[in-house]
Amino acid sequence: MDYKISSTTAEVMAALTELPEVKKGLDFLKADHDKAIEEQLELVTIKAPTFFEQERAARYAEMFKALGLDNVHIDSHTNVIGVKKGSGGGPAIVIEGHLDTVFPLEVEINPVIKDGKIHAPGICDDTRGLAAVLSVIRAFNETKIEHTGDIYFAGMACEEGMGGLRGMKGFFEDNKGKIAASITIDGARADRIVYNATGIKTMEFNFYGIGGHAFGAFAAVANPLHAAARAVAKIADLKVPTEPKTTYAVSKFHAGSDAGVHAITESASFKINFRSNGMAELKKLEEDILRCAEEACKEESEFWGKDSITHDYKYLVDVPAGVQNINTPIVEATYAAMKHLGIEPAFMKDGCTNANMPIGLGIPAVCIGRGGNEGGVHTTHEWFEMEGAYRCPQEVFLIALALSGVKDKCKSVLK
């Protein structure tokens, strides 16, 4: 890809990387690798399914306090927040990984190190992100570099699954107007830059009727299960654009029971997950899905002409889509940081990460990979290869300084 950064970003990064304290920080982060792995191994054993992150949050808050951050607290969303105050005049930014994993409490977690890899459920996603955040804090402490803007460090709750990124959403709601840019650590490798936001909605639809005996009430009542099935069939016929990529899938359908196999059920339900890289396309698909449900109820009711099927719905996950210019300063700074470290950047146009929330609000944000190699993510066979993992915190350190600025030495790319 032929990608060029602006002269402003190039000048900031050139000035930044010449500073002795920045060079010291990068060297420190490489040397801090073993400490970061040690903390990663500790944190992964503290189970943290979505909605049950409290124990891990408490320990993470202790780690923040031990590193001397200001105003360390666990907020009402179970996010762990700590602040490193700037010298003043620079934009405030947030650096975060997420606390939760996809594994229920009953899953045993006993890390095994073999052939340079750590094997454990959750060892990558996003325990490694949390460890990288701690390493970056230590680099700031070690160098005593005077960044101008406040830096918020965070472990966010409820990123996965039904959590729907609500920890990140709550953080930005609580800090309206305070945060100028956001760095998320999530995903594989050290070379990826996610700069756009794939929007996600998950909805539950419920259909209701009178119900009755499958033989005795036949033709006397409409069938809510049939209405739900009509809705799903209509949805299955929807055409969606390939660009921006837009998708949908009915993921759960439920009605009745084996005991009532001879009955017309009184209710039926289904869940649907749909996504798009474009907010307008996501909204259009949502409108089409709502129309399908409405039409299905009407058709089932009119077919029998006896009673009316009703329905309702609720949103289980609602994550905004968003687009940034590929040459927005935060993306350019991320690219330049990687190039300085000898990493060939890989742009990822699609992605649903905690970066969705700020991007959806029009706040500059990127998501970068955790460093190292990994595999089996979201399975009990998850593994993390440790070699070179320090490159992620090195990237974050440089990006953060480029965004915040250094007192009397280097301006912010956001200014």
Reduced to 3 states (helix: H, G, I; strand: E, B; else coil), residue 241 is: coil
Tens-place pLDDT, residues 365-401: 999 999 989 999 999 999 999 999 999 999 999 999 9
Determine the average pLDDT of the residues in 297-324: 94
- Is 80 exceeded by the pLDDT of residue 203? yes
Cα–Cα distance, 305 to 299 (Å, whole number): 10
Tens-place pLDDT, residues 1-25: 689 999 999 999 999 999 999 999 9
Q: How many angstroms separate the Cα of 22 from the Cα of each of 18, 144, 184, 285?
A: 7, 10, 21, 48
- Is 80 exceeded by the pLDDT of residue 346? yes
Asked if residues 182 and 363 have their Cβ atoms less than 8 Å apart, the reply is: yes
52-85 as b/e: b if 16+ CB within 10 A: bbeebbebbbebbeebebeebebbebbbbbbbbe
Cα–Cα distance, 194 to 267 (Å, whole number): 42
Q: Maximum CA pair distance of the chain?
A: 86
H or E element, residue 55:
helix 54-66
Going by pLDDT thresholds of 50, 70 and 90, the confidence category of residue 295 is very high
Tens-place pLDDT, residues 148-192: 999 999 999 999 999 999 999 999 999 999 999 999 999 999 999
Cα–Cα distance, 104 to 93 (Å, whole number): 32
Per-residue pLDDT, 286 = 98
Per-residue pLDDT, 1 = 67
Determine the average pLDDT of the residues in 64-90: 97
Determine the average pLDDT of the residues in 144-148: 97
Full set of structural domains in the chain with CATH:
7-197+322-404 (3.40.630.10), 202-319 (3.30.70.360)
- Is 90 exceeded by the pLDDT of residue 350? no
Going by pLDDT thresholds of 50, 70 and 90, the confidence category of residue 211 is very high
Cα–Cα distance, 79 to 97 (Å, whole number): 10
